[in-house]
Amino acid sequence: MPWLLKRSRPLSKQGKLDPFDRANENPPKQPWRPWGDSTPAEILDNKLIIRDSGSFWSLGPRGGWGSEYYPLTANWGIEWSMNMNPVGVLTPRVFSLFLGKNWINGGDPTAVKYQVLFRWEHYTTTNNDDETEHHYAVSLWLDDKDSAIDQPRKVSYDMGNSANLMAPHTWRIKCVNDNTFILWMDGIVRWVYTIPAGLEGGGFLRGPGLRAQAMRATFCEAEIEDWFVYDYVAPPPVWSSDVFYDNFNRANGAPANGWTTVGSDVVINSNSLGLAGGLLSDGNRGAWRSGAPLSTGNMRLSVTLGGAHGLSSSQDSSVVGRINSAGTLGICLNIFSNKIYIAKFTGSLSSPTFTDLGMDELTLNNGDVLNYVITGDEAWVEYAGEILLYVDGINAHSPESNRGYGVRFKRAAFVNSVAFNDFRVQVKV
């Protein structure tokens, strides 16, 4: 097949790119093919145009189009550009991207019991005053075909209005370990979601034969350009055994054990690292292993939350990686009881200026363990076996050559930020 290509990007290997730069085809020829009930499509003016399927419900045609190529490994991605054109006056207007069986295996994605699909849609609901409300979103849906589809498990990104939903955008989906999906729109991460391994007995997890993409347009037409599907060369990182671990189980006082404090009152307190007791001044302060940089800037920093001071919704503590040799630059995971941030810091651990890179809301408890990963151009947070927060473009903020690590604490309004019961460091192997 002439367009089986190797991707120039260093994190991907062979995949299939179709720029649709050939003579018009009506209907499209292999590797494209319809699935399910007949739905018109054509390649026209360097675009794949999927026409309106005619019905959202099973009473009418339920079909679409897909490519024969699908990823072969558990770590893969899809990239394309798309705009949607409305057809008629009815809603919901929906573009569906099913991740499941391929047509070359007799696959009809709507026949798979555990359906994983992305939906771009304009739909309406009725509020308590019987007023119609309009919604414009892109969502990840997990539907058990044998259950009612009006109660899906899903995560959504609000597109705001019809013009934004239907306008041209570039989209990227990255799948890690066949269960974590990261969505980009126009080069910006919009959300990350990990399918729980035990959900419906693991039926929603993708795998061999369940990574193909099949598309359908409902009350709209989808115009698609530069469709690209690929596998990643590099699987998720493999981490070393601990290169540093501190459980802080020693007498109250200065941290010692290679920690350099920045600012006052960062101490061992009740077998945890955090702020001293008593009436402290407001502000930031921190500690880092200034004399022990790692052999690489690709690191996994893990902490157990709590100790002398518990979690707070008003003051945050930080796990900090990729600190430069001067201690004036790094990438922080900032931790509240109800949200986490990944941010660039400049200045110092006692007087930081933050540039937020990504945020996720959640409920954390004392005793929880967070794993903060910085590897290559990416950073993310692992919690209870799931990836909760993901950002890319890290190298532009702090390159791999910055290999220090540490912590930051804060006090304000008579509240101390959370202490850490332990601190673990691993590096990519």
**Stretch 254-261: mean pLDDT:** 98
Kindly tell me if the per-residue pLDDT of 8 is higher than 70.
Answer: no
- In terms of domains, do 168 and 111 share one? yes
Task: Give the pLDDT score at 200.
Answer: 87
* In a domain? residue 173: yes
Q: Does 128 share its domain with 267?
A: no
Is the predicted pLDDT of residue 139 greater than 80, yes or no?
yes
| The predicted structure's pLDDT at residue 2 | 30
Mean pLDDT of 129-150: 82
Do 205 and 347 belong to one domain?
Answer: no
3-state secondary structure the chain: CCCEECCCCCCCCCEEEECCCCCCECCCCCCEEEEECCCCEEEECCEEEECECCCCCCCCCCEEEEECCCCCCCCEEEEEEEEEEECCCCCCEEEEEEEECCHHHCCCHHHCCEEEEEEEEEEEEECCCCCEEEEEEEEEEEEECCCCCCCCEEEEEECCCHHHHHCCEEEEEEEECCCEEEEEECCEEEEEEECCCCHHHHCCCCCCCCCEEEEEEECEEEEEEEEEEEECCCCCCCECCCCEEECCCCCCECCCCCCEEECCCEEECCCCEEECCCCCCCEEEEEECCCCCCCCCCEEEEEEECCCCCCCCCCCEEEEEEECCCCCEEEEEEECCCEEEEEEEECCCCCCEEEEEEEEECCCCCCCEEEEEEECCEEEEEECCEEEEEEECHHHCCCCCCCEEEEEEEEECCEECCCEEEEEEEEEC
> Which of 76, 50, 72 is closest to 61 using CA atoms?
50
List, for residues 227-242, the tens digit of each pLDDT value.
999 998 677 899 999 9
Structure tokens at 305: 């939350």
Q: Which of 48-57, 74-83, 419-428 has the lowest mean pLDDT?
A: 48-57
Find the mean pLDDT for residues 79-93: 89
What b/e readout covers 356-366, taking b as 16+ CB neighbours within 10 angstroms?
Answer: ebbebebebee
Looking at the structure, do residues 295 and 211 belong to the same domain, yes or no?
A: no
The answer to whether residue 7 scores a pLDDT higher than 50 is no
Are 226 and 252 contained in the same domain?
A: no
Q: Give a yes or no: residue 237 inside a domain.
A: no
* 153 lies in the same domain as 273: no
Domain boundary, last residue among 231, 259, 281: 231
The answer to whether position 126 is within a domain reads yes
Q: What pLDDT, on a 0 to 100 scale, did the predictor assign at position 372? A: 98
- Exposed/middle/buried for residue 425 (C-beta within 10 Å: 0-12, 13-18, 19+): buried
Q: What is the pLDDT of residues 210-227, one digit of tens each?
A: 999 999 998 999 999 999
Contact 142, 199 (CB under 8 A): yes
Contacts of 136 (CB under 8 A, 6+ apart): 121, 122, 158, 159, 160, 161, 162, 164, 165
Report yes or no on 369 lying in a domain. yes
113 lies in the same domain as 195? yes
Average of per-residue pLDDT across 288-310:
97
Token reading at 181: 């999906």
Domain total in the chain:
2
What pLDDT score does 9 carry? 45
- Residues 371-421 have pLDDT tens digits of 999 999 999 999 998 898 999 999 999 999 999 999 999 999 999 999 999
43 lies in the same domain as 122 = yes
Residue 119 pLDDT more than 70? Answer: yes
State the residue range of the domain holding 373: 244-427
pLDDT confidence of 307, banded at 50, 70, 90?
Answer: very high
Instruction: Using alpha carbons, select from 339, 343, 341, 338 the residue that is nearest to residue 322.
Output: 343
CATH value at residue 373 = 2.60.120.560
Around Cβ 244, how many Cβ atoms within 10 Å?
16
Say what percent of the chain tops pLDDT 90: 74
368 or 155, greater pLDDT: 368
Looking at the predicted structure, is the pLDDT value of residue 4 above 60?
no
Average pLDDT over the chain, rounded to whole? Answer: 90
Verify that 227 and 248 share a domain, yes or no: no
Which of the residue ranges 91-100, 259-268, 287-296 would you say has the lowest mean pLDDT?
A: 91-100
